[in-house]
Amino acid sequence: MPGAQGGQGLVEPIVLVTPGIALLFGAFLFPVGQILVLSVVPSGEELGAWSNFARFFADDYYIRVAWRTFRLSLLITAATALIGFPLAYAMARAPRWLAFLLLLLTVLPLMTSVVVRTFGWMMVLGRGGPVTDLLMLFGLSARNAVLLQTETGIVVAMVQVLLPFMVLTTLGVIAGIHPHLEEAARTMGAGFYKTLRHVVLPLSLPGLVSGSLLVFAISMSSFITPNLIGGVRLPVMASAIYQQAIHTLDWGFAAAQSTLLLIAVLGLLVPYLALMRRARV
Amino acid sequence: MVGRFPPSALVLGGLALGLILVFMLLPLGVVVAASLTAGQFLTFPPQGLSLRWYGDVLASEAYLAAAWTSLKVATLVTIAATVIGTAAAIGISRRRLPGSALLAGLFLSPLVLPSIIFGIGLLIVFSIWGNGPSLLALALGHTVLTMPYVVRTVAAVLADADPAIEEAARTMGAGPVARLRFVVLPQAKGGILAGAFFAFNVSFDEAVIALFLRTPGVETLPMRIYGQLEFSPTPAVAAVSTLMILMTIIVVVAIERSLGLRKVAT
């Protein structure tokens, strides 16, 4: 029995985890905590402690940015769930070679730099790109219509960037559904689609929900793709924070916006982690 | 016996899968195609075929310097994250530690916290208490970001390992160091390798923290590509991007060989 020795072996695991804990406290929790502190510290002499938050909620511009971020994240999440569920189901039930191929084609884009993938979308969606040609071919748009610097463009690119997270989270749950359950439903007379709808979908729900929470949290805080595809005309919260921190050097205000973003994201991630823990057991 | 999948599901499913795959691979394919152009401008489809833009990149001091910086950071990060992460995973998987579930959660937390928040935190800390961002600051940030991957892959392998072997070594008189060296580390080898490849890949590709810690003299490859994309990219950017895609393919193959993608991904 590994645990039978009781306290005898406690020193060794403590020695092993200490460097990691030191790194996490010094280089992770401390910087993140620093943001929280800086967001409430008064930034000017005549300003109160919460002035940075007051400024955020008083300014129409930032409310609009926050609303756009929320709205786009919702669309992105819905689209990834819609595409991700059939893909994850196919991965779980396909023959080995096909399942592996699908996994490879999900993981490969995931592990490619976001900068490179976004660059690809800039060409696909931009002037003279294949999407414009297709739309023109079907007479769906005027000449030179471009999806670059549109909200549609941001959603399309973000769905491709975040789909792997949805698929892999859902796959973990679907792979745990025993095929006998589907076979039982089928032999009892339910059709394929009915089985999918009444057996597989409800059982996959924990995966879909945790995948959605994860995708929503990541898209709320994404910055590279929305910034490059949307441009300066369509800022999201993360690009506003980047502007404040790097260009205007208003760290207090950037910290306050980061804190708001952190609260929103934690509100999503805590249920996500709870769901994942339940799914693992 | 009922057939497993009706023909309509196979046709519809096949069609949907085909479309999804095109959607997933399209941006990568377009970048690769555009890098092969013989023309002056970034276009898709490319005009003529040539490798001239690869020559351009290999002759460009700015790109070579950025690649060298990326390589330095990623190498430092891989070593640090693999050593610290492996040790932590072995410690956590002992389960003799009180609160090891909480500890596991703490070690995985950098995976889920948005890197933009971590990035601005690092920038503020290094500006207030240090001399501003530097290559080491970036490496430190990436080490935090990549350590969870190592912890996860090593812990996954150790969960399947037979603890009786270490117990046997202990009863035969092997000390803690000898047990680590001759039993636990060999058992964890696949996970350690996969974690190291992950760490290298994530650090080499990462742009968000790098952009926050941007400072003259420290420009990684993703930072340089990002900068080019903000203005007017040339086919040289496509060539560099293609080289980065190639590197990712190599890493993915290495991870599949060392631990198996399926095990890592879900």
The CATH number assigned to the domain holding B148 equals 1.10.3720.10
pLDDT value, residue A4 = 43
Q: Specify whether A253 is located in the same domain as A139.
A: yes
Which of B30, B109, B204 lies at the smallest CB-CB distance from A123? B30
Q: Which residue, among B182, B191, B230, B227, has the nearest Cα to B207 in the 3D structure?
A: B227
Tell me the residue range of the domain where A85 lies. Answer: 51-280
Domain assignment present for residue A136? The answer is: yes
Can you tell me the distance from the alpha carbon of A81 to that of B22, in angstroms, rounded to the nearest whole number?
18
Could you give the ipTM of this predicted complex? 0.90
Q: Specify whether A136 is located in the same domain as A34.
A: no
Can you tell me the distance from the alpha carbon of B208 to that of B230, in angstroms, rounded to the nearest whole number?
15
Q: Specify whether A149 is located in the same domain as A236.
A: yes
pLDDT tens digits along A228-262: 998 888 889 998 898 888 888 888 888 888 999 99
pLDDT value, residue A49 = 67
Domain assignment present for residue B1? The answer is: no
Residues facing residue B37 across a β-bridge: B49
For chain B, how many structural domains are there in total?
1
Q: Specify whether A128 is located in the same domain as A29.
A: no
Q: Specify whether A34 is located in the same domain as A150.
A: no
**In contact, B237 and B42? CB cutoff 8 Å:** yes
Residue A109 has pLDDT above 50, yes or no: yes
Domain assignment present for residue B213? The answer is: yes
Over residues A13-28, the mean pLDDT reads 92
Residue B221 has pLDDT above 90, yes or no: yes
Contacts of B266 in chain A (CB under 8 A): 168, 171-172, 175
Contacts of B125 in chain A (CB under 8 A): 30-31, 34
Q: Specify whether A185 is located in the same domain as A110.
A: yes
pLDDT-based confidence at residue A3 (cuts at 50, 70, 90)? very low
Domain assignment present for residue B118? The answer is: yes
Q: Which residue, among A269, A265, A80, A271, has the nearest Cα to A162 in the 3D structure?
A: A80
Which of B20, B96, B117 lies at the smallest CB-CB distance from A35? B117
Domain assignment present for residue A4? The answer is: no
Distance from CA of B70 to the nearest CA of A (A): 13
Q: Specify whether A115 is located in the same domain as A196.
A: yes
Tell me the residue range of the domain where B70 lies. Answer: 52-265
Which of B105, B144, B233 lies at the smallest CB-CB distance from A23? B144
Q: Specify whether A33 is located in the same domain as A138.
A: no
| Mutation for A interface: B37, B108, B116, B200, most A CBs within 10 A | B116
For chain A, how many structural domains are there in total?
2
Contacts of B160 in chain A (CB under 8 A): none
Domain assignment present for residue A112? The answer is: yes
pLDDT value, residue A199 = 86
CATH number of the domain residue A61 falls in: 1.10.3720.10
Inter-chain touch B44–A224, beta carbons under 8 Å:
no
Q: Which residue, among B136, B106, B107, has the nearest Cα to B122 in the 3D structure?
A: B136
Q: Specify whether A258 is located in the same domain as A120.
A: yes
Q: Specify whether A89 is located in the same domain as A30.
A: no
Domain assignment present for residue B44? The answer is: no
